[in-house]
Amino acid sequence: MFLHRFLMVLCAAGLLFPTPDALAQTDTLAAAAITGNGLRGVITPGQEAPAALLKGAADLGEVVRMFSGLQLKDYGGIGGMKTVNIRSLGSEYTGVYIDGIAVENAQNRQVDLGRFAPESFSGAEYYVGEQAGILLAAKEFCTAGSLYFYSVPIREDRTELRLRGGAFGMVSPSLAFQKCFRKGWCHRSEVQTTFAHGRYPFYWKQYDTTMTRENADIQALRLQSRLEKGKWKSTLYFYDSERGLPGAVIRRPKGQLLSADRQTDRDFFLQSIWKDENWCIRGKYSWRYTRYRTDPYRDPSAMPVDNRYLQHNAYLSAAWHHPVTRQWALETAADLEYDYLDANLPDFAYPHRLGSWIAVGNLFTFKHLRFSANLAWQGAADRVTTRTSGFSRQNDFRHFFSPSLVANTNIGPFTIDAFVRRVCRMPSFNDLYYTLVGNAALEPERALLSNLGIKWNSFPIRNLWVETSVRIFHNSVRDKIVAVPTTSSFRWSMYNIGRVEMTGADALAHLRYSWSHKRNYLDLRFTYTWQHPDKIVPYIPEHSISFAGDCRLGPWQFCLSVLSNAERYTTQTAFPEYRLSPFLTADARVRYTWREWTGGISLNNLTDSDYEYVKGYPMPGRHLLLSLQYGF
């Protein structure tokens, strides 16, 4: 009962669905109810990806880089790893959630977005701090930023065949099949394979040389299957890929490969979520196999390496939403997680970790004011195997308290929001136990985040909808985990020595105009991020700007996205040799729908700019991707 009233309050405030999609398209509302995003009582304003951007994007990196305050780290090309980083905090702080459950990687805490496909999802949202919603997992109370992907709702029986290809010698056929059975059981399955040689030319500006990325091929198979009924939803995911790692661009004699390294990945997970108005139970088991090997036959200077890692992860979470009074709701959640990392290495630590999270939140809702006061605790108990004594309990327990305060108020058409939160980055298995690098004495890296924002939200004036917001933030990071060489460059170790004070702001302007009964629309979105650390933080631009324009005219859809980053440095020192040039890149996309057919053309990097996110990993120049879809 309370919940419905609560939802009504939020709907009235225009908060629950911060973008006009909900207002413009009633079906989004239905989608939200099914996918579960509707159940969150959002206090911290988030950002939602333009739906059309998600629809025809080649990868998720293309979508998330348009969020303000979020940096993408992309190694380029079709097989290059793509990770995200919210407000310069590092990808270890960023939670990536698929249908409400975190994607985990205890080995290095990096989640590669390239392993998921945009067509699996109908929505993407990004929150910094926390969304302070209801029925969150305890883990979500402890992250600095969260990126949520919601899978496509199953509304009708439908089969989609899609063929995508073009640049990089890419051919990627996929099949999606969805059906609802009796008694409310619904099912959707996707199969996608990708083949590409991955080669692309790039221009090495410094030396006026054009070269080609080699050994960048990929073969991948993705299976994703979902079964749901009412409050319950389960997802099965399997990903198998074999790819070449093209290596950093360095000086080498002519004709020599830069790298002949190969990587095999096999990911599997099974996750379930059950959610009603007061309870949410989440469970997951995942399994992740990585094999990295060099090929001394093709690259004679490579040391023979064939490392295999296998990660097991089991996760269970329960969240309880308890409305105490009309104004006050109590949120409690507890998570338990088990990780194990196996490897074929000699002297490996074979770490086990039992992680636990407990969170208590208080959500207060008054007429114009909502705030939440939360306290979360996380602990991680490690066990490692040592050469001499077998199981060891040395340095085995780390824990951390994450309190947070979130508030949000409406004054006329303005919404003011603020939050303060303390978060940490637990050392990963690589930080602690990696041969020749790990330092088992590491403590969690701590960060204090604060944010103040104002948003102006026009109620739809006829067919025009405008939203603008500005947020300022300050992050203070202590005991930063840094890899430091010791007495030899051969032997690096991890230390808690870094400290960063980051001040910044992000701004968003969003305009939408629709006509012909909302069938046609023009959607313009502009974001700007300013980040000013007390000293240079590698790879963080001081200014970044993005623009996304989306226009639908009957069967036609046009998208244009532009992204620009200011200069970055690869180190903390502002010498010219460590500088990465500013860049501007623009992608254009046209889609045309005729009966059951949809065809799309994307022309990416229109201006053919030479740019890098990571030094030595040039991004592709102008390239064309085509797609054809048949749905019935």
Binding-residue pattern over the window 93 to 112 for another protein, x denoting contact by CB under 8 A: --------------------
CB of residue 94 to another protein, shortest distance in Å: 21
Residue 466: phi and psi, rounded to 5, are: -130, 140
Among 183, 207, 461, 632, binds another protein (CB under 8 A): 207
3-state secondary structure 340-368: EEEECCCCCCCCEEEEEEEEEEEEEECCC
From candidates 156, 461, 462, 488, binder to another protein by CB under 8 A: 488
Q: Minimum CB separation from another protein for residue 425, in Å? A: 17
Spatial separation of the C-alpha atoms in residues 124 and 98, rounded to whole Å: 9
Report if residue 497 touches another protein, rule: CB under 8 A: yes
Examine residue 603 and tell whether it contacts another protein (CB under 8 A): no
Site track 329-348 with another protein (rule: CB under 8 A), x = hit: -----------------x--
By CB under 8 A, residue 250 contacts another protein:
yes
Binding segment toward another protein, per CB under 8 A, in 159-167, 366-374, 492-500, 598-606: 492-500
Give, for 429, the enclosing helix (H) or strand (E).
helix 429-433
d(CA 226, CA 333): 25
Strand 261-275 to 279-293 pairing: antiparallel
Cβ atoms 72, 96 nearer than 8 A: no
Specify the residue, 496 or 561, whose C-beta has the smaller distance to another protein. 496
Q: Is 248 in the site for another protein (CB under 8 A)?
A: yes
**Residues 563-582 contacting another protein, CB under 8 A:** 570-573, 575, 577-578
Q: Which residue has the tokens 């959707």?
A: 188
CB of 264 to another protein, least distance (A): 17
Interaction residues for another protein, span 19-48 (CB under 8 A): none
554 binding another protein? (CB under 8 A): no
Region label for 244, one of left (φ > 0), alpha (ψ between -120 and 50) or beta (otherwise): beta
Total of chain residues touching another protein, rule CB under 8 A: 51
608 lines the binding site for another protein (CB under 8 A): no
Task: Give φ, ψ of 487 to 5 degrees.
Answer: -70, -5
Binding mask 435-454 for another protein (x = CB under 8 A): -x--x-x-------------
Q: Which residues touch 250 (CB under 8 Å, ≥6 apart)?
A: 258, 616
Q: Which is nearer to another protein, 492 or 558 (CB)?
A: 492
Q: Does residue 300 touch another protein according to CB under 8 A?
A: yes
**Which H or E element spans position 404?**
strand 397-411
Measured between alpha carbons, how far is 137 from 79 in angstroms, rounded to an integer?
A: 32
Q: Element (H or E) spanning 22, and its range? A: helix 21-24
According to the binding rule CB under 8 A, does residue 412 interact with another protein?
A: no
Is residue 303 part of the contact set for another protein (CB under 8 A)? yes
Instruction: Map tokens 């629309």 to a residue.
Output: 521
Q: Which is nearer to another protein, 327 or 571 (CB)?
A: 571
Nearer to another protein, 51 or 249 (CB): 249
Beta-strand runs (E) in 154-255: 158-166, 170-180, 185-196, 200-204, 209-213, 218-229, 232-245
* Candidate list 8, 171, 483, 624; residue touching another protein; CB under 8 A: 483
**63: enclosing H helix or E strand:** helix 60-64
Side chain identity at residue 423, one-letter code: V
Contacts of 472 (CB under 8 A, 6+ apart): 451, 452, 453, 503, 504, 505
Task: Determine the Cα–Cα distance for residues 443 and 452; give it in Å rounded to an integer.
Answer: 29
Return the number of the residue (251 or 517) whose C-beta is nearest another protein.
251
Stretch that binds another protein, among 203-211, 278-286, 321-329, 619-627 (CB under 8 A): 203-211
Q: If binding is defined by CB under 8 A, does position 487 make contact with another protein? A: yes
**Best CA proximity match to 79, nearest among 261, 256, 220:** 220
CA torsion, ordered 16, 22, 28, 31, to nearest 10 deg? 10
Write the DSSP assignment of 294-330 as a string of letters: --TTTSTTSPP-EEEEEEEEEEEEEEEEEE-SSSEEE
Residue of 101, 167, 53 whose CA lies nearest to 547: 53
- CB-nearer residue toward another protein: 8 or 436: 436
Return the residue of 306, 534, 596, 608 that touches another protein, per CB under 8 A. 306
Task: Give the whole-angstrom CA distance, residue 84 versus residue 548.
Answer: 19
Considering only 322, 326, 393, 491, the residue that binds another protein (CB under 8 A) is 491
Q: What track of x and - describes contact with another protein for positions 256 through 275 (by CB under 8 A)?
A: x-------------------
The verdict on 632 binding another protein (CB under 8 A) reads no
3-state helix, strand, coil in the chain (%, to 5): 10, 60, 30
Of 56 and 444, the one with the shorter C-beta distance to another protein is 444
Evaluate whether 585 touches 612 at the Cβ level (below 8 Å): no
Q: How far is the CB of 258 from another protein (least distance, A)?
A: 9
**Interface with another protein includes 411 (CB under 8 A)?**
no
Q: Are 344 and 307 in contact (CB under 8 A)?
A: yes
Residue in 173, 379, 599, 616 binding another protein, rule: CB under 8 A? 616
Instruction: State which of positions 521-540 bind another protein (CB under 8 A).
Output: 538
Measured from the CB atom, is 379 or 616 closer to another protein?
Answer: 616
**Smaller CB distance to another protein: residue 283 or 538?**
538
CB of 484 to another protein, least distance (A): 5
Question: Does 350 engage in binding with another protein (CB under 8 A)?
Answer: no
Residue 412's CB is within 10 A of a number of other CB atoms, namely 8
Closer residue to another protein in complex, CB, 88/604: 88
Residue 389 found at the interface with another protein (CB under 8 A): no
Least Å distance between CB 422 and another protein? 25
Question: Which of 299/506 has CB closer to another protein?
Answer: 299
Q: How many CB atoms lie within 10 A of CB 491?
A: 10
Q: Looking at residue 115, what DSSP letter applies?
A: G
Position among 26, 159, 205, 209 found at the interface with another protein (CB under 8 A):
209
Which residues sit at the interface with another protein, rule CB under 8 A?
A: 204, 206-209, 247-253, 256, 296-297, 300-306, 346, 436, 439, 441, 482-493, 495, 497-498, 538, 570-573, 575, 577-578, 615-616
